[in-house]
Chains A and B, each alone.
Chain A
Amino acid sequence: MRPDHGRAFLLRAGELPGAALALLLPVVSAAQQPTAAGAEALRAGRYEEAMKLYREALGRDPASAPARLGLAEALRLTGAYPEALEALAPAGNQPEILVAEAHIHLETGAGEAARAALTRAREAADEADPSTSVEVSGLLGRLELRLGERAAGLARLDEVLDAYNRSPPGTLSPRALTAVGQAAVALGFQSSGLFRDALRVFDEAAALDPHDPLPVLAAGELLFDKFNTAEAGDSFASVLSKNPRHPRALVGAARIRRPGVGGASPGGPAAAMEIADPLEMALAVNPDFPPARALEVERLLERERYEEAGERARAAVRATPGAPETLAALASFAFLSGETDELEGIRGRYAAAWPGDPRLDVALGRAAERQRRYREAAGFAGNALAGSPESAAAARLLGLNLLRLGDMARGREVLEAAFLRDPFDALLKNNLDLLDELDGFRTIRKPPFEFVLPESEADLLAPYVEELAREALEDFGTRYGFEPGGTVRLEMYDRSADFSVRTVGITGIGAHGVCFGRTIAMESPSARPVAEYHWASTFWHEFGHTVAMGMTDNRVPRWFTEGLSVLEERKRFGDGANLLFLTALRDGRLLDVKDLNDGFTFPTFPGQVQVSYFHASLVLEQIERDHGFDAILGVLGAFREGKDTGEALIAVLGMDAAALDAAVDATIEARYGAAARSIGAAPSSGSDRPPPAVSGTELDAVLITAAASPEDFVARMRAGIALFEAGRDADAADHLEEAAAILPSYGGADSPLRYLASIHERNGRPGEARKALSGYLARFPAAYAGWLRLAEMRTASADPEGAARALEAAIGAYPLLADPHEKLAGLAAASGRHAIELRERKAVLATDPPDRAGALHQLAAAHFRAGEHTAARRRVLEALEVAPTYEPALRLLLRLRREG
């Protein structure tokens, strides 16, 4: 286990004498009233009002530095950068004015102008006032690092820390303290304790001036960078509660609320974080704020809306040509859209302007990572790390992407090195802890596969996992012409939290599997309750991604690879629509093909991701049906060439996305339209099941509803289930049969067929019961108990082959219990299928049964029957080692001895 904290840097503890606070409280004269009111408006985000008041104040007193600074700040925050500089110009020799000017230049990416302003500020600073000097040095030092003047920058930042350590408590201004904290963050790679110290100094600054958002924002950004999204969210929420229009806080909130990065409610953010779309608000306040514009482009790229992203990125660079964020955004667009010349041009510009700032390569790496291009992501991260060896972001990006590529040793090495510098990084710690866990897993190499399984489950899982993997390789290989071209690594996690860390670095992901190309990570069956997770179809799905990514050099759009995987999953394991899809269809919420990516990356309603999976598979099904399977191969080939969805569809199918939409819509309408429209009572938000059944006095109401809406699937289901639970089988069957007729392709866990099977069985109709149960399981293969029941029914009807198939399916649903293995072994033994019997006897043993001696003896006997006498002898000895007087085993031992 890794330590949670590193060594603390020896900064002095900040002490706040009461007098210091008193000094900060201004005495406001009548002449200063507009300035005070302006400050209040500025703090509350009423920027226009603040500007008006400050202008009034300057009209009365043109020499008022507070009014001038306030006006410039309001203008800066709203993106009126030239006007902000203009407002400062008349007082351009005062240190605080020059610092404000530098802030504007830094924000817009004018590095040399910022340096000039800061140099002048330092010269103009009053030596008796250490605060300005500390603030200027802090800003200058960090700027020098970004400009590639590493030695000078580090030396200057060290001086800032020294100045803080030398200064008597309470003497530095809040802004100076914030600069000290930021210097500590920049130097954090030297001593991890500095991050903690930085947070303390930010707190010190915030306590001195509770109105200043800067230290709180700096703390929030540091916490976010360390993946402490809960506390980061609190910081941004704290700023937004006072000023809901603060662009930097809004961008911080928007980053936290990105899907997959902590979700919408990290640690229960304050109401201020509930702003509908913080990014939209930030851009409304300041349309040219570089971090906001960069985030906007990033999101468009994630949605694979390249054209729009390009337009927005170019506009952003036109507005702030030197800002590293906007340059990085444009570079990301150029990379993902294959505009290599443009990319090289931007790289050149960036290298000239910000030679010491790794942000461009880190942004490129993240863009590549988001589009599942992990090898390129690692390449960019490597570049960033080579130029800025202390960059935690670059190390994290490189390490994680190496792990995704299956290069576990190098990935671990990079993450270990980064963690030594920064033990506060939650993502680093989570991943290194996970790698420690993986050390205890068993790695089984069966080329081209490498299976990494929990040690306690490896004996049991390995045969089934390998068998399924080989089947997938053969099946996909034959139809798609796919060859992995290297080792395919499959990691199975028995703890959902470990799987989640492997996937996104933090816990809480809702998925079961993830594919990084030739590396697949997924939950083992034991990670979820029985019947809630179907491991075999999850593997099949993820292997579909391996194929799609491999055949496109990882350029396949998200919607297409998901559609392909779900279609393949449906073909192999069962096929059925659920209520989420039907209600989305009824409500007109299915997306167009061109927007399908949004359904996965930026869902707008609960359950939309699940709806999009199924919908995408219907699109792929349509392509295959109308244009042949080769068309799917053709589209994959087009993606490999760098074409986007629209281009690929035209090139291969000869139709655009809208035409494909029309065809898919027609199929969906024919197959599901009537059933979807009949659904009256929408299921609860995000649910894939009908509303729960009722009992008692509500029964009459449910029956009345069903009678009034005989075509309503949900009404029929509710009535059928209620009657079933009341023991009124005949009446229940009427409703359930109607429900099944309305929606024969329903694939939910509570299919009408499930209930009908029970009704038929308890009313002595075994044939109909088997048929209904088979129908149910064909669309809901995770129903472990259903498969066992079907096996029993088939055994009772003298259908051992059918029973064996059902038992195989039960194992596909959940292989960790002995029951289906024992039964399947018995059936295999009876039919002389030694290989299956041996596999199943070994599985029984791997479940660690209470009767270990019995299980070993059965395995020994199976080996004997298969003619494997050496193995039989070893196993019977092991049985007798536990039970030395166990007579059947003793007899087998003698027999083996006598037969040699």
Chain B
Amino acid sequence: MTSALTLAVVVAAGVGGSPEHRERFTGWASALCEALTAAPAPPTVRLVVERPEEAPPSAPRPCAPRGRSTRDELEAQLVAAGGDIAEGGGLLVVLIGHGSGGPRPRFNLPGPDLSPENLRDILARATAAPVTVAHLGSAAGAFVPALSGPGRVILAATRARETNETRFPEHFVAAFVGGEADRNRDGNLSALEAFVYARDAVERDFDRDGLLRTEHAVLDDNGDGVGSGDPKTEAGTDGVLASRTPLLATTEQSVLAAGEEDAAIRSLLARREELAARVDELRNVRGAIPEGAYFAELETLLLEIAGITEEIARLRGESDPPAKTPGGAQGRSGPA
């Protein structure tokens, strides 16, 4: 399992084809970079765009474009990013722009386009670490078979034959802002959570507008080269690896946990992670267990997790009392 703390990131905004699209693609790429670099444990982000000279001078330094998003420059940045990856870490590659399908699928870049095979070969040269690729453009699904493999999470905004402009990137980027997409509230945004958040938002968009969906996002992480539209966390299916691939630390606590030096706390954190995994396993077999028994077992696990969490807070000397009376809080923060 990689850690969000040890992730290296390359974001490429491809060729826009029009000023509006160029601005939009560059904007999303910059927004994603800013969200990543504003996180409690920011990764190194290498950003390449179609026209770096048009990047606003006010852009935060970590998100200043490293160059033009040509195929050569992208390759150079990917190889360099391979060097950024710390031990146990991984690489996140995000492609924002137009894609084309058909027998020779491409991601459109200034100059020569990028084929699935190009990217596969570049990644092979760049790193042996786990890689997550998020292709957010049209016909993205055509990249899945070539990139799929062990340790690989491939998110594609569309199936291979869907060539309309995508709505997915806007929501994928939004998943990195605000913490709402962290469904399991563990302080880390996983690749699966980012995918599900964006996929569901796209679906709501089309429903709201009364349109037939022209994009169906897929995710492949079991190495079979076939993307799934509804990845799960059940063994053998697409989704398991993605659920364990954090892309962003959303809370200080998660950063703290990752860098924990106290042996006793580390032990408690490990036990808690183990229990959380058992909750996941239990949830996957929910239908096969009588409801009463299911919730009893669930509660047992959760009470132990709660106790551990309380103990960790005590050991850390945190002031927040563990069982404060819930109040009338508004918004998304917890009431207790």
Q: Which residues of A contact B (CB under 8 A)?
A: 529, 822-823, 825-826, 829-830, 832, 848, 850-854, 857-858, 861, 864-865, 874, 877, 880-895, 897-898
Contacts and interface: CB of A to CB of B under 8 A. Distances in A.
A523 to B, nearest CB: 13
Contacts of A891: 306, 310, 322-324, 334, 336
**Which residue, B180, B185, B275, has most C-beta atoms of chain A within 10 A?**
B185
A829 B302 contact: no
B302 A877 contact: yes
Contacts of B310: 890-891, 894
Given A891-B323, A894-B306, A886 B184 contact: yes
B328 A888 contact: no
Given A830-B330, A857-B335, A894 B322 contact: yes
Contacts of A829: 328-330
Interface in B143-181: 180-181
A822 B331 CA distance: 7
Contact of B183 (A851, A858, A861, A888): A851
B336 A892 contact: yes
B279 A880 contact: yes
A864 B328 CA distance: 11
A850 B200 contact: yes
Given A850-B197, A850-B201, A881-B283, A892 B185 contact: no
Interface stretch (B40-48, B61-69, B293-301): B293-301
A784 to B, nearest CB: 13
Nearest to A830: B328
A839 to B, nearest CB: 15
A886 B183 CA distance: 10
A854 B329 CA distance: 12
A271 B305 CA distance: 77
Report whether over half of chain A's contact residues are helix, strand or loop; otherwise say mixed. helix
The 6 closest A-B pairs by CB, nearest first: A888-B334, A826-B330, A886-B185, A883-B185, A829-B328, A861-B335
Nearest to A857: B334
A829 B331 CA distance: 11
Interface residues of B, number: 44
A889 B334 contact: yes
Interface string B177-199: 00011111111000000000100
Nearest to B286: A881
A553 B10 CA distance: 74
B111 to A, nearest CB: 38
A597 B90 CA distance: 74
A884 B276 CA distance: 6
Given A883-B186, A885-B185, A894 B323 contact: yes
Given A877-B295, A884-B301, A853 B323 contact: no
Given A885-B272, A895-B326, A851 B335 contact: no
15 contacts: A822-B330, A822-B331, A826-B331, A829-B328, A848-B200, A850-B181, A853-B184, A877-B302, A882-B184, A884-B186, A884-B279, A885-B305, A886-B184, A891-B324, A893-B306
B104 interface: no
Contacts of A885: 184-187, 272, 276, 305, 309
Given A877-B302, A891-B323, A893-B302, A851 B184 contact: no
B332 interface: yes
A850 B330 contact: no
A877 B298 contact: yes
Contacts of A825: 330
B315 interface: no
Contacts of B264: none
A822 B298 CA distance: 28
Given A884-B184, A894-B322, A895-B326, 19 more contacts: A830-B330, A851-B182, A851-B183, A853-B185, A865-B328, A880-B305, A881-B283, A882-B185, A884-B186, A885-B272, A886-B186, A888-B333, A890-B309, A891-B310, A891-B322, A891-B323, A892-B334, A893-B302, A893-B303
Contacts of B279: 880-881, 884
A262 B200 CA distance: 38
A529 B279 CA distance: 41
A883 B183 contact: yes
A894 B326 CA distance: 12
Contact of A892 (B298, B309, B335): B335
B325 A895 contact: yes
A315 B98 CA distance: 75
A865 B185 CA distance: 23
Contacts of B335: 857-858, 861, 864, 888, 892
Nearest to B179: A851
B305 A890 contact: yes
A166 to B, nearest CB: 52
A42 to B, nearest CB: 52
A891 B330 CA distance: 17
A850 B180 CA distance: 7
A884 to B, nearest CB: 4
Contact of B295 (A853, A874, A883, A888): A874
A532 to B, nearest CB: 12
A685 B322 CA distance: 67
B299 to A, nearest CB: 6
A851 B332 contact: yes
A851 B183 CA distance: 6
Contacts of A892: 326, 334-336
Contacts of A888: 333-336
A883 to B, nearest CB: 4
Contacts of A852: 183
A396 to B, nearest CB: 31
Nearest to A828: B328
Contact of B275 (A883, A884, A894, A897): A884
Contacts of A883: 183-186
Contacts of A884: 184, 186, 275-276, 279-280, 301-302, 305
B315 to A, nearest CB: 15
